[in-house]
Structure 1
Amino acid sequence: MFITLPAGEVREQPESAVTSDLLFDSTGAKLTDQARITIDRITHYRDTVRAYQVKIDGQVVGRIKDGKQATFEVSPGTHQVRVRLMWLQSPSVEVHLEEGAGVTLRTGPNGGILQAWRIYFAPHTAMFLEEGS
C-alpha cells in the first residue's frame, strides 16, 4: 500500500537536523575517538568471591570479578586508574592515551596467605595494578 502526500505537505529537513550528533557523548567528545582501558583480573584464591571496584579519575566506573576482563571507554588524555575492595586498594596507575588507543592493565591480590599482613598494615598495597602485555 502506498500513500501519496500532496506536494504542499512535503517538508524538508533543516540542515541542523543531522543525526551525526549521535557520535558524541554527553561531554561533547566524539565516541569514535574514544580510548580504551582494559583491566584483566588474574585468577587467585584470595578475594575469589568478591568483585573489585574500578575507579578512573576518582569515579567508580564498574566492577571486575575474579578471572574476568572489563573494558572501559574514556576520553583521550591522562587518567588515574585504581581498583578497590572494601578498605583495600591498589596504588594509582597513571595512563596517557591518544585517540583510539588502548591500554591493558593487570590486577589481583598482592601475594597469598604470607602477605596477609598487608590487609591490616598496608591496605594501599594489598592489591596490585600494573600494565599488562
Structure 2
Amino acid sequence: MGEQMARSGGPVPNRSDQRRRRNKVDIDKVPVVLADGVVRGPDCPDGVRGLARDWYESLRTSGQSVFYADSDWTSAFIIARAIEKFEERPTAHMLSAILSGFGSLAATEGDRRRLKIELERAPEIDADEEAAVAEIDEWRARLSR
C-alpha cells in the first residue's frame, strides 16, 4: 500500500459474493480479525481536532491499516491536516484532494473494491459453542478409555 494506487472510474463493483456473473475475477480477500479497541499505527498528532481526528482514529482501527507502512501514516496525517483546513474553509478543490487521498490509502470500501481488494471479518467464535465442543471432546475421551 506504500505506493500510489491507481483508481479506475465508473461505478463501485459489487463484492465478489454479490455478483450475478460468476466469471473468474481475481480478488485479493484478506481475512482481518479486529478486536474492539485494537488500534494500529502512530497516535494522532497533537493539535489535530474535530472531523480530522475522528477520521485519522477510524483509519487506525480499519482493516486495511494492517498493511500501512510509515509513509502511509504520514500521508494519513497530511490528509487529516487537509480535512482541518477544509472544515475551516471548504472548497470543491480541497474536497477533491481529500477524496483522492482517501483513494490512495484505500480508505473506503468503494476504493478497495475498485482495486479488487476485499476485507473479510473472521467469524466470531461463540464462547458457549466453544465450551460445548470442549465438553463433547471431553466425553469422547472418557468413552474411548
User: Same fold per TM (> 0.5)?
Assistant: no
TM-score by length of 2: 0.19
TM-score by length of 1: 0.20
Larger Rg: 1
Whose helix proportion is higher, 1 or 2? 2
Whose strand proportion is higher, 1 or 2? 1
Larger relative contact order (C-alpha < 8 A, sep ≥ 6)? Answer: 2
